[in-house]
Amino acid sequence: MIKQLSISTLRQGLHEITHEIAVAVSDSRLQEGLCTVFIKHTSASLIIQENADPSAAYDLEQWLNRLVNENDQRYTHTSEGLDDMPSHIKTTLTATSVSIPVINGQLALGTWQGLFLWEHRRANMQRTVIVHTGA
């Protein structure tokens, strides 16, 4: 089964989408198999990360922003703003898809794991995520 989700991001940073993906898995009625999640953008990404303590997300966001500076004068791809090229670099360093096993009809995530859409742009964005479930 393939389901397309539209996810609004109101700010740059990590946005947990575990619940939305779990609902898609439940709707698919898949009991055992694989859930693949893909984001159809080059300036946002997907990661599995700790979802229990918000300071982990904050620290990740701060670290990546220090690693990829928005004010680098060497960027030439700047027509969409100062955050555009850094967003592409951040997506290259992370991932545009993740695969999660499905066991007994549920995502087989660990106790502290959640799935996050990592918005790399500063503006409000509408992101398209494809969820594929199959045996």
| CATH code of domain 2-134 | 2.60.120.460
CB 127 within 8 A of CB 44: yes
Structure tokens at 117: 């859409």
Amino acid at 25: V
pLDDT at 36: 98
Structure tokens at 116: 């996050």
| pTM of this structure | 0.96
Structure tokens at 18: 């575990």
Q: pLDDT tens per residue, the chain (135 residues)? A: 999 999 999 999 999 999 999 999 999 999 999 999 999 999 999 999 999 999 999 999 999 999 999 999 999 999 999 999 999 999 999 999 999 999 999 999 999 999 999 999 999 999 999 999 998
pLDDT at 131: 98
